[in-house]
Structure 1
């Protein structure tokens, strides 16, 4: 008897669900992917960032979820906006801020945030130095970020349990409230080193429970760093000659083995110094210059780095 009632109930539910499903064809996810502008944003991300295949894959997956969710909402299906708060972990210079910027654009294109802007902050922008100072600072930052994405770099510095008078916990409590109650109008991305973020979440279970997506950014390989350098130079209308290209490949191998290496950030800083040496070399020339000389870095512009001197000293 009970089985018959259960079967009947399931049949009614199935019939109701079938009746509620529209039969008219709808826009395909691929069509929406292109018409919404999301395809163009992801293509720009792919062009801007070398490598990072796992990161790009996760961003594509999140975009797919939002696209299908949008199609469901258009058909009147029960559709609750997914939690989109994220954590980006990895070493400096691995593209976390750039990905956050493009993520904000994706969310804007799909209507999940109103403005699609990115507000990037650190602890100093949120936490005050005296009683009554933190809450206004944190709320002001949140006000600026509403309708977009709030990116908090080195987020673990918000929590300093060794200091009983630290006001970081107050900022965390305000963030938690907004992340829960206004999650349809703001997406918070926490960023930092992986081990420190894990410790932070272990000490702040409320924050951990609000982060739906954890994305780890790997370090770049040496060939990827060399390609990044070439792309940076192309944007500035510079290039390596053959000798400089080989020298910079050696530079990358040596620099990666030194402390405080920051991936693409260190590459950019190295190129700035090489351009400075290039300019000095040309400035000291007494002969008329050829246009090619203005855009070409030579091996000497690379090997003058202290990285090579340190190697010889060792």
Structure 2
């Protein structure tokens, strides 16, 4: 029996994409048809429409919804057909390099990260040109390590890098597979290697992104499962280096221990990119970006209050303050408070009222959760 949870997720994500694009886009209707009788034609239609939308609206918000809906379809239907359709979607939704460079450039802050990614693209383009002209090319691997605190856009940049490598012909598919320790480690001895192989095969042609990679080896002296995982993963890094990018990410210090846990592991990674914490102005910029992307307006007084609030959190520098993620949580809280305030209004609620934040919508004494 398929869990109702996946049905609700599919409907919810589809409705949110409709709201993002305009109610006439019809994704919620298609989701309802898929759930009603597992309509294969509706599923195909949804995949096709997702691909078209990705080309028409090349924004990070649309991409995130696209990927979430594809994941919901996979979990709900649980069939190889969805995987094939997802791979087809990756082909359909491929963007040219210029559009992806714009996506990267539109991200708030990350000046050094953006330059590092541009340099990587330039390097690989020149190596491809050398090869076409019968010259030797560099054999640097494409695998990377992203180092930094939570909420510094490591996952977002990893997705863009994968699509860029697809756009310039370094990857055959460009899909993005996100994994954690639970996706790599099996319950029984000897099964971890099989689990890693399956995940690697699913990611081949695209990006395998492992967040908090150090969790694989955090119990190194007693965790034979973690060592088994790392041995198999290290082998895959070399075997499939021509059509697979593995990006490992996490806090800087634990990641250094991770690389020391297996001989030869660090040598498989040629690129190490550090993600700095956001400044207060960049955090405010993320808030304003979320406002613009979701059709909200914050005037100068609201922005000043948000900035003061975030500055206090930065001054505390508590461990649960997770940079951009915390700003988005704060944004969600403000949206909730605005909704509650408007629900108590007497009389007609105008479009301007629906769009506008006021000072009382900004929480006063909220402790930001990471």
Q: Which TM-score tier does this pair reach, normalised by the shorter chain? A: 0.7 to 0.9
Residue matched to 1:46: 105
Matched, 1:287 2:324: no
Find the residue that maps to 2:349 and give its secondary structure.
coil
Residue matched to 1:129: 187
Find the residue that maps to 1:108 and give its secondary structure.
helix
State the 1:106 CA deviation.
Answer: 1.2
Report the TM-score when normalising by structure 1. Answer: 0.83
The answer on whether the counterparts of 2:277 and 2:323 sit within 8 Å (CA) in structure 1 is yes
Change (3 A) 1:101 1:114: same
Find the residue that maps to 1:292 and give its secondary structure.
helix
Instruction: Give the structure with higher Rg (CA).
Output: 1
Find the residue that maps to 1:168 and give its secondary structure.
helix
Q: Aligned pair count?
A: 272
The answer on whether the counterparts of 1:128 and 1:137 sit within 8 Å (CA) in structure 2 is yes
Q: Deviations over 1:53-93 (max 9, x none)?
A: 11011101110111111111111112254311110000111
Q: Deviations over 1:235-277 (max 9, x none)?
A: 1101212321111011111222242111110000111011000
State the 1:307 CA deviation.
Answer: 4.4
State the 1:197 CA deviation.
Answer: 0.5
Find the residue that maps to 1:139 and give its secondary structure.
helix
Higher RCO structure, 1 or 2 (CA under 8 Å, sep 6+): 1
Report the TM-score when normalising by structure 2. Answer: 0.71
Change (3 A) 1:243 1:303: farther
RMSD: 1.7
Report the Cα distance in structure 2 between the residues aligned to 1:89 and 1:40, rounded to whole angstroms.
26
The answer on whether the counterparts of 1:121 and 1:151 sit within 8 Å (CA) in structure 2 is yes
Report the Cα distance in structure 2 between the residues aligned to 1:165 and 1:190, rounded to whole angstroms.
20
Report the Cα distance in structure 1 between the residues aligned to 2:163 and 2:140, rounded to whole angstroms.
17
Residue matched to 2:75: none
Report the Cα distance in structure 2 between the residues aligned to 1:212 and 1:188, rounded to whole angstroms.
11
Residue matched to 1:275: 335
State the 1:39 CA deviation.
Answer: 2.8
- Larger CA deviation: 215-224 vs 245-254: 245-254
State the 1:290 CA deviation.
Answer: 2.2
Residue matched to 2:285: 227
Matched, 1:306 2:366: yes
- Larger CA deviation: 186-195 vs 248-257: 248-257
Change (3 A) 1:162 1:215: closer
